[in-house]
Every structure is written in C-alpha cells, then in structure tokens.
Structure 1
C-alpha cells in the first residue's frame, strides 16, 4: 500500500499525511507541517491546546516527547532504504522551561550524516547514533525541551543472522 501511495503522491507527502492521519501520532497533538522531497528534513508543530495542557497550563511533557519520538527512526528507515534495519534504542528528555506557546522542531539528516551511517554499517555491520532534537518557539530563539534519541542501525542480512543465532 505504501509503494502505491508513494507513486501517486510521493514519499514526502505520504510520510506527512500518513503521520498526520495516524491515530498514534494524532494523539500527540503535533502535526508534521513540512517535509523535504528526500525526507532529509521534517518540521513539526505542537500547538498548545486544551488537549495537551497540564495542571500548570503548559504543554504536558508526554505530549512533547510523543511529538518527537517516532520521527527520527521512521525518517531514517525511509532515507536508508530496505538494506538496513533501524530501531529506537533509548531516549532521554530534558525540559528547559515551561511551554506556554506553540512549539516547533526540525528533524534533519544531512547527506554527510547519512554517508557516515552507511560507512559505519559497512565497517561494523551495526552501529548506534545519537540524534538530538529541540522543541523551540517559532523564532527558534527559545528552547523548551531537548530529546536525545539513541538509534540502532544494522545491515539487514547481518541483523537477520544475528537474530537467527540468538534463538539457538
């Protein structure tokens, strides 16, 4: 279904609308507002609303985390392609100040980062990277939250063999 959808509207639009219509992402109250054609850059908006305000009228920390959580892994899966396995391994969230306004985040993988990931996987068969995302105001001059995600990436054949051997 994704292959047909990507041919009809392109991977970038399918990624954007797929996330925005998905119940798991809709519940975060965030929306993807922009994607580059190659999915190397994704921008989200987390509007403050009655759905995500906490007891002190700032955005609930869980909403901030859930707005950021799935994007880097799914983005990287689509950038790297079918020869790689990509999994979230861990995450840390650091709250900097109460968020009482709409928040924004950019998720970006540069060509240099992607090439380093591919070279690392060729050399070691499996690697971990840390991707840092900041939730900011629209002007990007105030940071409200920072999320550090550890992402596991492996050669697909290596990963299959590793899993097969671990079941013995």
Structure 2
C-alpha cells in the first residue's frame, strides 16, 4: 500500500483496522491460509489463526509447514514498522520454525510487543544505531497445546543511520 493511500485511509479508519484488513486482503498472505483475527488499538497485540483446510493440508492430512511459517512471516515486521513510525528502518532478516507435533486442527499465534521492549528498542538504537532482535511466537491450539515454535530475527536501525551506512 503506498503512503498516499495510507494517509487517506488513516483519516477514515483506525490504524488497527487498516492493518487487520490489509493483511486479510493481501493475496500472498491469504495464500498462507493465515488470517488476522485481532489487532489491538495500540497495535502491540496481533492474533492470527490458521485453519486446517484443503488449501494447506499436506499428503498425510496434516498442515503444511510452509503455511505455518508463511502466516507468521510478516507480522512482527509490519507490527514494528507501524508502531515505530518513519524514523526507523525495520526488516525481517531471518526466521526459523521448530515443529513439535503435526497440526490436525486450527492453530493460533499471539504476537505481543510490550512497552518495555519498545523502550529497549529506543535505547538500543540511540546507543548503537542498529540492532537485530530475536522474537518468538508459538503456534498453539485453542487449549494452548504448542504445535510449532517460530523465531524471527528483526533488524531495526535509525533511518538516518541506515541511509548513511555503507552497505
């Protein structure tokens, strides 16, 4: 979504509504089978669900691991881009997934960014200009049973530093 369109939408809708709708209408995200079902007003909590469907069922009838990984892929990055604003560069640098058991039902993930973590980012970037953060999220069923653990390495830098950095 381009910045002009975003500014217009922000005059009509709250940021959490734009983020939720944007994810759920985004074709690559829809192909993961993931759906954003909740975004808090402060954007610090995002909840997704990944139902087991014919679109993400593998040969043995369990959820394809790529669907789980893809559904979790952009969340932390987009969450932090939106929360931190224009003075930061944020990108998803790496990711991994550890499968604990085969998924045979709908799974959920809760992406939570705390105020303490946001303060840590501000302090780290003021001190070091850039830093990698390892963020984790579990895919669980409605009873809290963990099916997979996902790690994301998120790179954050001050925009000024990043523009002047020799790559």
**TM-score, L = length of structure 2:** 0.96
Aligned to 2:56: 52
- Equivalences for residues 65-144 of structure 1 within 5 A: 65-140=69-144, 142-144=145-147
Report how many residues are paired. Answer: 163
- In structure 1, C-alpha distance between the alignment counterparts of 2:84 and 2:143, rounded to whole Å: 31
Aligned to 2:152: 149
| C-alpha displacement of 1:28 | 0.5
Q: Which runs of 5+ in 1 are unaligned?
A: none
Secondary structure (helix, strand or coil) at the match of 2:68 reads helix
Secondary structure (helix, strand or coil) at the match of 2:102 reads coil
- In structure 1, C-alpha distance between the alignment counterparts of 2:99 and 2:10, rounded to whole Å: 36
**TM-score, L = length of structure 1:** 0.95
- In structure 2, C-alpha distance between the alignment counterparts of 1:64 and 1:126, rounded to whole Å: 29
Q: Which runs of 5+ in 2 are unaligned?
A: none
Secondary structure (helix, strand or coil) at the match of 2:138 reads strand
1:24-44 Cα shifts (integer Å, max 9, x gaps): 110011100000011100000
- In structure 2, C-alpha distance between the alignment counterparts of 1:40 and 1:7, rounded to whole Å: 21
Superposed structure 1 runs of 4+ greater than 6 Å apart: none
Aligned to 1:12: 16
- In structure 2, C-alpha distance between the alignment counterparts of 1:82 and 1:22, rounded to whole Å: 22
1:50-83 Cα shifts (integer Å, max 9, x gaps): 0000011111000000010000001000011100
